[in-house]
């Protein structure tokens, strides 16, 4: 289950992160947000939730006035022209676990967003404070970007600040400068609609009242995932990848599939058609239709078990210091 | 023609300079071009290379030995040529096992169906014969031939490994390795042994290298040859110098292995056996080329159902007639029809394929129907692959690529 706004704010307090909060009615656009918090100190942000053709997701968090050209960004990431689109609405709920209109870098606190890459506008660094939604668009919090960095560090993320308006050439001799920010894992949702336009709220924009122009060099720092814990769950996609570790769940899914097929094949029509032979017919049908899928699933199950065993063994024999508790006969 | 004589002849032919072979079709690991932009003549190719046609009796033998139906690619003649496959089967019957060796040059992240074919077939061979498999990712080759950095080619190798793993290989019997990580030790010793037995003139003849090519290219072939010898993998096959090797690959890889087979007896090993496939045709037809720069020339494993539907409907070259009346009268030209060709690769049901060919060829069935069926088949395939790919974690890749023992690899 994703973090609630309250849980998240509590976490900020635990981390002793300094921020101010403003409650307001639900806002779906930056213009609306500006009406409520426009007077407060700080640069309003617009947050885009994007996806590429290989089901990898990105949050681009920028100052409201920063021009973000998706075509340019797509090329800089090495995705070719037109490789980036707004992510579909379902992805918002599944991956970021925030409601529509609430995209925010803080959504990375959720484990489901583990593989989402975050691109931060370097312009944010030039602001005394910046305004973001705290997982919900009925509130805005303002904080200094250093505090944002502190938060990101606490969840094992690095902050990658990028000059989003830059348009460097990309070609044979100029590799895409942001390629390192492409996630290594994709996230697959159950139904992948090829929606041309996103159903998300349009990015929010606000006239910044307080501009501090500090010179920031445009350098994209490498995002490194902290300590890839061996016991980490595999890619948290809506695909039941966790079932490859859980016997009960795995069996449940097999039975669900078989059951669904069985029920769909036994109808008044088929009973009339096959009569006593229906059992044989349905049995063959199940075998034919499910064999390939079950094989794939079971292979993955076996591979996951093997991999766990392998990593355990590796860990056992890796550390040679006196702290090593492991023993083998 | 006796197979050994044919092979010897092919090796002799290689000593001719490339210019003399200009009018012919060109088939080597880096270039495939038919004569005058026509179709590849496979009979001529078999003749020229000196390999053997896979005849039906061999397929029957495979079914008997493995107690299961032969893979669709064997039944449909997708894998159609071989070298010494019968010896592999002879040995297998005597209880002598073998290992499989295949590989990929990780040049791009985008894999299309053509790339999957050797892997799908190899997975079947592994399962049917219950034998170990080594998979080589030639990241060094791509670095040498393409405009990539070392880091980028290593990264692509790992990405491609995920797609390969998604084909369902048995982790208990499979070792995947990248050249940049693995070359060294016993593997390198074999590379040097091989390179001492191949002359510059030979590689020029086989691969068409020229004076201006950098020496990286010249020194690469032994890297792809070395996995054919069990001693290159001491952590797997220590003490089994007699173990045979079977290499499933597309026929354009034949030159590497002709060279390897020539060297093998001189360093005391069995010649690796080969089982070779046709080229997978581009969507636009046999004369077209599948190219990374034209996404509409192929179906990619990342294509969604909608994209597949669009590509097949719009770009798949049809052998049907221009008008329905004409079509009903004359029927479709099955020789050039791409949907039928693709179905013969991927539609499992022999009876359905036969029926479709008959109906379409006679004009009773329309192109639209054939395409619709193809879209269904391909979507299912791509979906399955995508699901499997999504479940491949970095930890899983690490495990497949770890230099580890594989106990029970023959059980």
Tokens of A65: 């006035």
The DSSP code sequence of A141-172 is: EEE-HHHHHHHHHHTT----EE-TT-----BT
Tell me the C-alpha distance between B186 and B205, whole Å: 28
Which pLDDT belongs to residue A15?
85
Cα of A78 to nearest chain B Cα, Å: 11
Which pLDDT belongs to residue B219?
95
Residue B384 forms contact with A (CB below 8 Å):
yes
pLDDT band at A193 (very low <50, low <70, confident <90, very high): very low
Most confident of A148-152, A265-269, B86-90: B86-90
Asked if residue A227 has pLDDT above 70, the reply is no
Across the strands, what pairs with B247? B274
3-state secondary structure of A139: strand
Torsion over CA: B15, B17, B20, B26 (sign): positive
Asked if residue A235 has pLDDT above 50, the reply is no
pLDDT band at A320 (very low <50, low <70, confident <90, very high): low
Most confident of A72-86, A222-236, A288-302, B214-228: B214-228
Angle between helices B254-263 and B3-13 (to 10 degrees): 110
Neighbour-count burial of A64, counting CB atoms closer than 10 A to its CB (0-12 exposed, 13-18 middle, 19+ buried):
buried
Residues of chain B with pLDDT under 50: 15-22
B289 vs A65 pLDDT, higher one: A65
Across the strands, what pairs with A143? A130
Inter-residue contact A160 to A243 (CB < 8 Å)? no
ipTM of the complex: 0.74
Inter-residue contact A106 to A132 (CB < 8 Å)? yes
Residues of chain B contacting A112 with CB distance shorter than 8 Å: none
* Eight-state DSSP code of residue B24: S
Residues of chain A contacting B384 with CB distance shorter than 8 Å: 292-293, 296
Average pLDDT over residues A137-147: 89
Token look-up 């009346």 returns B325
Which pLDDT belongs to residue A236?
31
* Eight-state DSSP code of residue A232: S
Residue B171 forms contact with A (CB below 8 Å):
yes
User: How many C-beta neighbours within 10 Å does residue B241 have?
Assistant: 12
Residue B386 forms contact with A (CB below 8 Å):
yes
Inter-residue contact B161 to B401 (CB < 8 Å)? yes
Asked if residue A231 has pLDDT above 90, the reply is no
Residue from A299, A312, A318 whose CB has the most chain B CBs within 10 Å, to mutate: A299
Which pLDDT belongs to residue A71?
86
Which pLDDT belongs to residue A213?
35
Inter-residue contact B153 to B140 (CB < 8 Å)? yes
Tokens of A185: 């894992």
Inter-residue contact B45 to B27 (CB < 8 Å)? yes
Which pLDDT belongs to residue B39?
77
Across the strands, what pairs with A63? A45
Tell me the C-alpha distance between B160 and B213, whole Å: 27
Q: Answer yes or no: do B395 and A234 touch at CB < 8 A.
A: yes
Tell me the C-alpha distance between B142 and B107, whole Å: 6
Which pLDDT belongs to residue A228?
36
Give phi and psi for B389, each to the nearest 5.
Answer: -65, -40
Chain A residues near any Cβ of chain B (below 8 Å)? 53-55, 172-173, 175, 184-188, 192, 194, 228, 230, 234-235, 237, 239, 241, 244, 292-293, 295-296, 299-300, 302-304, 306-307, 310-311, 314
Inter-residue contact A223 to A118 (CB < 8 Å)? yes
Residue B149 forms contact with A (CB below 8 Å):
yes
Which of B170, B387, B399 comes nearest A296 by C-beta?
A: B387
Closest chain B residue to the Cα of A171, Cα to Cα:
B147
User: How many C-beta neighbours within 10 Å does residue B141 have?
Assistant: 24
Most confident of A172-176, A321-325, B128-132: B128-132
User: How many C-beta neighbours within 10 Å does residue B351 have?
Assistant: 7
**Interval B232-279: pLDDT, tens:** 999 999 999 999 999 999 998 898 899 999 999 999 999 999 999 998
Across the strands, what pairs with A58? A50, A117
Q: Answer yes or no: do B384 and A293 touch at CB < 8 A.
A: yes
**Interval A67-109: pLDDT, tens:** 888 888 888 888 888 888 888 888 888 888 888 888 999 999 8
Average pLDDT over residues A27-50: 85
Closest chain B residue to the Cα of A183, Cα to Cα:
B159
Average pLDDT over residues A189-202: 43
Q: Is the pTM of this model over 0.90?
A: no
Token look-up 């918090």 returns A37
Which pLDDT belongs to residue B169?
96
Tokens of A186: 């994709």
* Eight-state DSSP code of residue B112: B
Tell me the C-alpha distance between A295 and A297, whole Å: 5
Which pLDDT belongs to residue B104?
94
Which pLDDT belongs to residue A198?
37
Q: Rounded to a whole number, what is the largest CA-CA distance in chain A?
A: 82
| 3-state helix vs strand vs coil in chain B, percent to 5 | 55, 10, 35
pLDDT band at A322 (very low <50, low <70, confident <90, very high): low
Cα of B171 to nearest chain A Cα, Å: 6
């Amino acid at each position: 289950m994703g973090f609630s706004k309250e849980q998240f704010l509590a976490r900020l307090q635990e981390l002793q992160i300094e921020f101010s909060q403003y409650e307001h009615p639900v806002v779906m656009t930056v213009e609306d947000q500006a009406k409520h918090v426009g007077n407060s100190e700080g640069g309003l942000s617009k947050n885009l939730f994007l996806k590429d053709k290989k089901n990898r997701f990105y949050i681009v968090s920028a100052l409201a006035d920063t021009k973000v050209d998706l075509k340019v960004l797509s090329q800089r990431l090495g995705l070719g022209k037109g490789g980036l689109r707004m992510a579909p609405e379902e992805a918002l709920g599944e991956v970021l676990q925030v409601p529509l209109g609430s995209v925010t870098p803080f959504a990375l606190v959720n484990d489901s967003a583990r593989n989402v890459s975050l691109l931060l506008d370097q312009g944010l660094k030039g602001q005394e404070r910046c305004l973001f939604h705290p997982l919900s668009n009925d509130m805005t919090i303002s904080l200094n970007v250093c505090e944002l960095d502190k938060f990101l560090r606490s969840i094992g993320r690095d902050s990658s600040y990028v000059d989003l308006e830059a348009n460097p050439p990309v070609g044979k001799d100029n590799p895409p400068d942001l390629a390192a920010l492409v996630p290594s894992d994709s996230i697959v949702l159950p139904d992948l609609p090829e929606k041309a336009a996103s159903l998300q709220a349009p990015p929010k924009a606000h006239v910044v009242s307080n501009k501090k122009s500090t010179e920031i060099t445009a350098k994209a720092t490498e995002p490194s995932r902290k300590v890839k814990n061996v016991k980490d769950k595999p890619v948290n996609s809506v695909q039941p990848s966790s079932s490859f570790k859980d016997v009960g769940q795995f069996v449940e899914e097999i039975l669900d599939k078989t059951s669904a097929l069985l029920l769909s094949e036994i109808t008044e029509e088929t009973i009339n058609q096959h009569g006593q032979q229906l059992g044989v017919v349905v049995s063959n049908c199940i075998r034919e239709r499910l064999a390939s899928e079950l094989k794939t699933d079971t292979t993955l199950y076996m591979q996951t078990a093997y991999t766990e065993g392998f990593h355990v063994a590796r860990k056992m024999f890796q550390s040679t210091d006196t702290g090593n508790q492991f023993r083998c006969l | 023609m006796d197979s050994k004589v044919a092979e010897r002849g092919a090796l002799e032919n290689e000593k001719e300079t490339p210019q003399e072979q200009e009018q012919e079709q060109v088939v080597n690991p880096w270039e495939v071009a038919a004569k005058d932009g026509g179709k590849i003549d496979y009979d001529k190719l078999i003749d020229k290379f000196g390999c053997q046609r896979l005849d039906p009796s061999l397929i029957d033998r495979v079914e008997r030995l493995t107690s299961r139906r032969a893979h669709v690619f064997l039944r449909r003649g997708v894998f159609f040529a071989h070298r010494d496959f019968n010896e592999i089967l002879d040995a297998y019957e005597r209880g002598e096992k073998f290992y499989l060796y295949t590989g990929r040059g990780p040049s791009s992240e985008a894999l299309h169906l053509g790339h999957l074919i050797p892997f799908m077939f190899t997975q079947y061979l592994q399962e049917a014969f219950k034998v170990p498999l080594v998979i080589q990712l030639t990241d060094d080759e791509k670095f040498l031939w393409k405009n990539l950095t070392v880091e980028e080619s290593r990264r692509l190798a790992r990405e491609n490994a995920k797609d390969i793993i998604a084909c369902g290989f048995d982790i208990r019997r499979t070792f995947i390795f990248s050249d940049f990580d693995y070359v060294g030790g016993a593997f390198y010793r074999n590379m040097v042994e091989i390179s001492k037995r191949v002359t510059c003139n030979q590689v020029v003849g086989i691969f068409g290298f020229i004076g201006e090519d950098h020496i990286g290219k010249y020194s690469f072939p032994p890297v792809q040859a070395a996995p054919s010898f069990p001693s290159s993998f001491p952590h797997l096959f220590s003490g089994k110098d007699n173990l045979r090797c079977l290499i499933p690959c597309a026929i354009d890889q034949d030159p590497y292995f002709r060279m390897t087979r020539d060297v093998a007896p001189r360093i005391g090993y069995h010649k690796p056996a080969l089982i070779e496939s046709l080229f997978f045709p581009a969507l636009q037809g046999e004369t077209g080329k599948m190219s990374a720069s034209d996404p509409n020339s192929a179906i990619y494993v990342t294509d969604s159902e909608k994209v597949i539907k669009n590509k097949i409907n719009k770009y798949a070259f049809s052998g049907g007639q221009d008008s329905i009346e004409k079509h009903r009268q004359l029927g479709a030209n099955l020789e050039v029809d791409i949907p039928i060709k693709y179905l013969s690769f991927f539609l499992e049901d022999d009876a359905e394929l036969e029926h479709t060919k008959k109906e379409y060829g006679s004009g009773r069935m329309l192109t639209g129907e054939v395409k619709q069926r193809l879209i269904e088949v391909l979507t299912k395939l791509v979906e399955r692959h995508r699901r499997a790919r999504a479940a491949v974690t970095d930890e899983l890749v690490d495990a497949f690529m770890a230099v580890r023992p594989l106990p029970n690899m023959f059980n």
